[in-house]
Amino acid sequence: MKRKTGVILIIAAVIITGITAALLLWNNSSFPDDFDTFIGMRNDLTTVLQTEAEERKVNRFFEDYRLKLNPLFSFMFRDSELKLHLTSYESELIDTGSISQFEIGDTGVFFDFTFMIRPDENYSLPFFHGDALKALPGVDGALYMDFYAFAHSMSYEVFFGENISLIEEARNLAKPYWKHEGFGELTVHLDDYKSPYRFEILEPENATETERLEYFETARKCFNLYMEAYFNALNTQAGEPSSSDAERNIDSVEAFTEILYKHDSAVKMGKMIFPEEDFDRYFLEGFWGVE
């Protein structure tokens, strides 16, 4: 028993030493440049949402909202706080359209871009959700996107129609960066909701600045192609609501967000950073538009 305990302590010490070394190296390097890609993607989606929807009242609560970081996260992000940028929209067609980003202090450096467009409950249609992430210790630089749907939702083929060509164009552009090993493994809890058009790419490791620029330019192009395909398809459904599935859609959205709340790694990290009383308001009410 003593020998096993000793081995466990040695392994734990090695892991802690490795993590500490990685963080020290990270802390002494500069944040990798995303070439304003994340803020550009936010602006691209904001332009569309401002044209088609209005801001939700919950935005006021998160105006100039700042998160005070504990020593570990302060060390990781090299700042004492993160600034949350959350804007959420609604219209007759869109129940909730949200954009969330975290800025490191007031540096103008963003390490993510997260978005979600969910139709009104009177429309049984797919919803669009994804994350762009900057490489951090233990986190790959990546872009993940998908059109999630419920069992009773309109089929993807009918919903997208000829807009599938835009999706295929994006997937062809993304081939050099496509995530092959471990595709979808971070979100196995959402497998029942995923589409055939799930998109996962990774920022290349040990790349030159030119290669990194090419990756980020491609990521933004692919995001815009997916976004164009989705809004084109969504707008063809305007004026054709059906209240018969409304209750089922509401229940399905709540079930989906409950799964995220229990299993999503971003939720687990968020709970460590946010004050307990504010996290649900941010994640459930603010971002996903559920009570």
- State residue 244's pLDDT score: 87
Q: Are 187 and 131 in contact (CB under 8 A)?
A: no
Judge whether residue 246 has pLDDT over 50.
yes
Tens digit of each residue's pLDDT (9 = 90 or more) over 119-154: 999 999 999 999 999 987 778 899 999 999 999 999
Domain ranges of the chain: 1-30, 33-288
Q: What is the dihedral of CA 29, 84, 231, 172, to 10 degrees?
A: 10
Give CATH for domain 33-288: 3.40.1500.20
Q: Is the pTM of this model over 0.85?
A: yes
Rg (CA), the chain: 20
- State residue 30's pLDDT score: 63
In whole angstroms, give the CA distance from residue 245 to residue 255: 15
Q: Report the pLDDT averaged over residues 105-115.
A: 94
Helix (H, G, I), strand (E, B) or coil at 14: helix
Judge whether residue 284 has pLDDT over 70.
yes
Judge whether residue 4 has pLDDT over 70.
no
Tens digit of each residue's pLDDT (9 = 90 or more) over 45-69: 999 999 999 999 999 999 999 999 9
For residue 88, name the pLDDT band (cuts at 50, 70, 90).
very high
- State residue 116's pLDDT score: 99
Please, which residues bridge with residue 103 across strands?
83, 110
Of 141, 78, 72, 71, residue with least CA distance to 111: 141
Residues across the chain: 291
Judge whether residue 23 has pLDDT over 60.
no
Q: Percent of the chain, pLDDT > 90?
A: 79
In whole angstroms, give the CA distance from residue 194 to residue 62: 30
